[in-house]
Amino acid sequence: MQARPTRRLFAVLLCAASLTSVSALEAQTYRQTWTTTDDFEQGAQINVNATDPRDQLQLNLGQIETPYLWIANTYSDTVTKIDTATGRAESVTTIPTGGGPSRTAVDLDFNCWVAVRLTGTGVAHKLRASDGALIDTTQYVGRNTRGVAINAAGEVWISSSVSDANQGGFGWMKVDSNSFQPLETFVNDIGSYGIAIDPYGRMFSTTSWLGGRSVQRFDGVTGELQQRWRVQHRTGNIYGFTVDIDGDVWGAYWSDPYVAWIDGDHQCPNNGVDCNISPGNGIIRDIDVRDAVQAAGGSANLGGRGVAVDANRFVWAVFNDLSGGGWEQAPSYAVKIDGTSGEPIRAVPTGRGSVGITPDANGFIWVVNYGGGGANFQSSYTCPNGYNPSAGGTVTKLRSSDGSVVATYPTCGDRPYTYSDMAGYNLRSVTLRSGTWR
């Protein structure tokens, strides 16, 4: 990767000054420098620690929790909550509007927000963490909602993927997570296949083939478009994507054998908003995964799907092997990439037609298999909705250390199609990378 300035994680340090008199002339300001663990433990710590390592205040990302995986079974019109410790499906919720639930996001209370991708009456639904029950539904956002993500304030952004003539384009909405009332709305001239929000409050979206073949950056508070980068040097389009703790974008091309890294700070020339980007100038880099997949038994004819970044800054991307034709039953692989050097490390067989991928807080990687399959399938697991566990989609759990398969579990529904922040890991490890010490 291109050398770039180091961005430091920081915590907000708040200290109250002591005054010896109400008179301004007699006021005294006391200064103190805190340098040791004992010093830092004098104050109240929220999401920071001074013990790992000692004598250094840092964010406490190690205590992130991701108890559930929320998987949308798009052909069953259901969403399944899976326990990340056991792999068991704990609830299966029928989405009342139908319409092919797809992308999910998990809020700070572990509730699920799910968009529906196949209906003209595009909305998002909120499901309760404890039992999966439907809490409420947003107002109309736009046709065929796909993108859904949660910002640092706990507000929910939803985007649409089909233009609405009555709106004059592709609808976007930010809603209050409790009242469900719109906080911001706007119409974009290019559709959105997904949303991710970085540590600096910036919101990114990939358009895939919906127009412009672009990655866009917005203000995550107002929705104002900041940059539109046209990625047109490949035959494929950036499909699945995520953002890392540096605010950079990682995406996979459909249908090409590459993972893209994009500098999230890039400014179009002459203070422009819209520009083309291509490899060779340090703004975007394409990483070829063919050798890694072929070493694992696959072909060079690949299509990229979901992308995720784990706690050790390794990038994981899913690829379908398209040598046999269609993707839905295609052998698939999770490719592990060194996020610093950009070198592929290994590819691991997953299931059939794999789409989404996410880390959890305990060092595991989860892959969503649209066509089912996957090693060490837990055939004894039952479904709370009575669904035949052997008949539908699956999720495969991998060890992030070496990619070895822990087990594969049923999603209790047909054709799971989730590739987003389905465990809430990116919200907690990237979007919310903040802490306080007082």
Order the strands of the 258-262 sheet from edge to edge: 237-243, 249-254, 258-262, 284-288
Q: How does pLDDT run across 16-62, given as a tens digit for each residue?
A: 322 233 344 444 556 777 788 887 788 776 557 788 788 887 765 55
Whole-angstrom distance, CA of residue 74 vs CA of residue 182: 26
Whole-angstrom distance, CA of residue 229 vs CA of residue 47: 35
Whole-angstrom distance, CA of residue 144 vs CA of residue 134: 20
Collect all residues with Cβ–Cβ distance below 8 Å to 250 and sequence separation of at least 6: 241, 242, 243, 244, 259, 260, 261, 262, 307, 309, 315, 317, 339
The three-state (H, E, C) secondary structure of 175-242, written as one string: ECCCCCCEEEEEEECCCCCEEEECCCCEEEEECCCCCCCEEEEEECCCCCEEEEEEECCCCCEEEEEE
pLDDT bin (cut points 50, 70, 90) of residue 283 is very high
State the pLDDT at residue 435: 56
pLDDT bin (cut points 50, 70, 90) of residue 165 is very high
CA atoms within 13 Å, Cβ hemisphere of 165: 0
Residue 60: other Cβ atoms inside 10 A: 17
Phi/psi at 216 (nearest 5 deg)?
-115, 150
Q: How does pLDDT run across 368-391, given as a tens digit for each residue?
A: 999 999 999 999 999 999 999 999
Q: Where are the domains of the chain?
A: 12-59, 64-437
Asked whether 122 and 115 are in contact (CB, 8 A), the reply is: yes
Q: How does pLDDT run across 206-256, given as a tens digit for each residue?
A: 987 776 789 999 999 999 999 999 998 998 899 999 999 999 999 999 999
Q: How far is CA 172 from CA 149, 150, 187, 339, in A?
A: 12, 13, 6, 31
- DSSP 8-state assignment for residue 40: H
Asked whether 192 and 204 are in contact (CB, 8 A), the reply is: no
Query: Tokens 């990116």 identify what position?
Result: 426
Asked whether 376 and 406 are in contact (CB, 8 A), the reply is: yes
Whole-angstrom distance, CA of residue 76 vs CA of residue 56: 50
CA atoms within 13 Å, Cβ hemisphere of 46: 9
State the pLDDT at residue 35: 81
CATH superfamily placement of domain 64-437:
YVTN repeat-like/Quinoprotein amine dehydrogenase (2.130.10.10)
* Token representation of residue 299: 């072909």
Asked whether 162 and 206 are in contact (CB, 8 A), the reply is: no
Share the mean pLDDT of the chain: 90
